Amino acid sequence: MYAAERQREILAQARALGRVEVNALATDLGVTPETIRRDLSALVRAGALQRAHGGAIPVERLVGFEPEIRSRTAVLSDEKQRIAHAALAEIPENGTIFLESGSTPAALAELLPADQPLTVVTTSLTIALALATRPRLTVLIIGGRVRGRTLAAVDDWALRDLASAQVDVAFLGTNGFSAAGGLTTPDVAEAAVKRAALGVGRRTVLLADHSKLGVSCLCRYGSLSDVDLLITDEIAEDEAAELTGAGPQVRQA
Amino acid sequence: MYAAERQREILAQARALGRVEVNALATDLGVTPETIRRDLSALVRAGALQRAHGGAIPVERLVGFEPEIRSRTAVLSDEKQRIAHAALAEIPENGTIFLESGSTPAALAELLPADQPLTVVTTSLTIALALATRPRLTVLIIGGRVRGRTLAAVDDWALRDLASAQVDVAFLGTNGFSAAGGLTTPDVAEAAVKRAALGVGRRTVLLADHSKLGVSCLCRYGSLSDVDLLITDEIAEDEAAELTGAGPQVRQA
DNA sequence: CCGGGTTAGACCAGACCCGTTCAAATCCGA
DNA sequence: TCGGATTTGAACGGGTCTGGTCTAACCCGG
């Protein structure tokens, strides 16, 4: 049995069972534990496994707490579509906009008209990638450390780049918002960027579906009065009134 | 029996059985193991087999092993792979590197070991995207306008971000290079970034296959003396000597 | 039919790779 | 903290690979 075959078998077993053990594999595959260890470290180097004492587990078992990027776009896609559609009315003609990272701004990015010139500034790798090849669009990406979970630029460079930018309309997403609790997000670094983003547009539009309403996360980075317009989907009458009282105009898509 | 017939037979057998062995094939087909090995490497070059010690297995058997492996073998040429492999030796342990946009640096990005911590600074959206989700890597993207053609960050922000960065090793690509003409690229904006990138690393490594040698494009952004090490594939003896004379150490992968 | 040029494959030796063995260092649960 | 299990590193042996040289077959024009 070749090393490559053995490693494939190990990986298959790890994925099927959720874990593998050095000694079991050794007797199973008829080689010494040392050989298995070498295979495991090769698989670790390839990024397929994470090592543990006496064995290993596949990396996909190690997903963290914040939802993954892919699963998030699937959730609530219908509401986000409607919100993005409503946001289209706010796009300036031949101007500049800022799109934050997040699935709702990403939905808006997909809907941007292809026939009119527009400059888009974004912290999101995926948005930049999706828009970069469109002929009439100028895409500017904000620099910085790329968070693996959200694929957004954060930290030093991001704050500096944002500080030197000024756009017509900024479209922001959020993880949680309420009249009392303001705007919140779970990550400190991302909160700093979001705070800076609140100042980047002459007009600030928050895109947030009803599932974010009332949610409060670790970091508060601003309040609703920093927002000029909130576009959301169906929310209760009294809640809408309360939000309007806190500052922004509220539009329901 | 012709070589082509033999190779067809080897491939058929590999697909049918899932694996082949050099010695078995040799006695089977009545040729020496060396001949079989030559056939196998031809089939590997054609992308049909993956080699193993003492034999080979068809590539179909390996899908799902490394998700990247499919796309890169399809797109990237053999030379770039070899150059990228040779460049791996220059990766500092637990340090910082810069990767420029371009297919050869991208090939290097794919090969980066997943088990050791490393900070990667890049102007390339695609490289940033590919590396951002790897657990042990810190990825920093350079901000700026995104060129649709190359998906690289250029202009103001890029130059500023680059100026404030300092890495252990910078890996650069180029469109053309020669001892006399220096380093050249067709786009003005990209030339400015490349010029800045020449100063970003304490050590500068140029990755360029032989097809770039002697090519001269519109914008000259530096000379070979700005480069510490040039990694390329097969080039003529006298050309290598001339390049070395112009400044950099030359390594052929 | 001949003889130089080309090519495929054989032969060979040294380098290299892989898996094993063994001992020392390290880790972990009791 | 202790003792057994695990890991790490070095050394070894056998098989494999690599590059070079050599031979035989083939191709062609003379």
Using the CA of A3, which nucleotide's C1' is the nearest one? C18
Lowest mean pLDDT among B71-75, B156-160, B177-181, B248-252: B71-75
Q: How far apart are CA B14 and CA B109, in angstroms?
A: 31
Q: How far apart are CA A80 and CA A106, in angstroms?
A: 9
SS3 A111: helix
Q: Is B180 exposed, middle or buried (0-12, 13-18, 19+ CB in 10 A)?
A: exposed
In angstroms, the CA of A53 and the C1' of C27 are apart by: 8
Whether residue B191 contacts residue B214, with contact meaning beta carbons closer than 8 Å, is answered with no
- CA distances B69 to A6, A25, A50, B64, B72, Å, are 18, 25, 20, 9, 5
Task: Tell me which residues from 48 to 87 on chain A have a beta carbon below 7 angstroms from nucleic acid strand C.
Answer: 53
| Alpha carbon B19 to its chain's center | 28
Contact A161 B142 (CB under 8 A): no
Q: What is the mean pLDDT of residues B150-165?
A: 93
Q: How many CB atoms lie within 10 A of CB B28?
A: 15
Residue whose structure tokens are 């922004």: A248
Q: How many CB atoms lie within 10 A of CB A20?
A: 26
For residue B163, give the chain A residue with the closest CA.
A157
Q: Which of A8, A11, A141 sits opposite B141 (nearest CB)?
A: A141
Q: How far apart are CA B68 and CA A104, in angstroms?
A: 29
pTM beyond 0.85, yes or no? no
Taking alpha carbons only, the member of A64, A107, A96, A58 closest to residue A209 is A107
In angstroms, the CA of B82 and the C1' of D7 are apart by: 33
Q: What is the mean pLDDT of residues B115-143?
A: 90
Q: What ranges in A46-187 are assigned the alpha helix state H?
A: 69-74, 77-87, 103-111, 125-132, 155-163
Which residues in chain B are closer than 8 Å to A160, comparing Cβ atoms? 160
Q: Which residues of A242-251 are buried (b: 16+ CB within 10 A; e: fewer)?
A: bbeebebebb
Q: How far apart are CA B186 and CA B207, in angstroms?
A: 17
Which residues in chain B are closer than 8 Å to A133, comparing Cβ atoms? 148
Side chain identity, residue A4: A
Q: Is B182 on the interface with A (CB under 8 A)?
A: no
Separation of first and last alpha carbons in chain A: 61
SS3 A3: helix
Which residues in chain A are closer than 8 Å to B21, comparing Cβ atoms? none
Q: For residue A2, say whether its CB is under 7 Å from any atom of strand C.
A: yes
Per DSSP, what are the bridge partners of residue A222?
A183
Q: What does the pLDDT profile of chain A (253 residues) look like in tens digits?
A: 788 888 888 888 888 888 899 998 998 888 999 999 999 988 888 878 888 888 898 877 654 444 444 445 555 578 888 999 999 999 999 999 999 998 899 999 989 988 889 999 999 999 999 899 888 899 999 999 999 889 999 999 999 999 999 999 999 999 999 999 999 999 999 999 999 999 999 999 999 999 999 999 999 999 999 999 999 998 888 999 999 999 899 999 8
Q: Is A190 on the interface with B (CB under 8 A)?
A: no
Q: Is B93 on the interface with A (CB under 8 A)?
A: no
Distance from CA of A127 to the nearest CA of B (A): 11
> Which of the 8 DSSP states describes residue A114?
S
**Nearby residues of B149 by Cβ (< 8 Å), 6 or more positions away:** none
Whether residue B89 contacts residue B192, with contact meaning beta carbons closer than 8 Å, is answered with no
Q: How many CB atoms lie within 10 A of CB B188?
A: 11
Q: How far apart are CA B194 and CA B196, in angstroms?
A: 5
Contact B161 A157 (CB under 8 A): yes
Q: Quick one: tokens of B187?
A: 């786009």
Q: Is B164 on the interface with A (CB under 8 A)?
A: yes
Lowest mean pLDDT among A43-57, B65-79, B166-180: B65-79
Taking alpha carbons only, the member of A118, A122, A110 closest to residue A172 is A122
**Nearby residues of A180 by Cβ (< 8 Å), 6 or more positions away:** none
Q: Is A121 exposed, middle or buried (0-12, 13-18, 19+ CB in 10 A)?
A: buried
> Which of the 8 DSSP states describes residue B147?
P
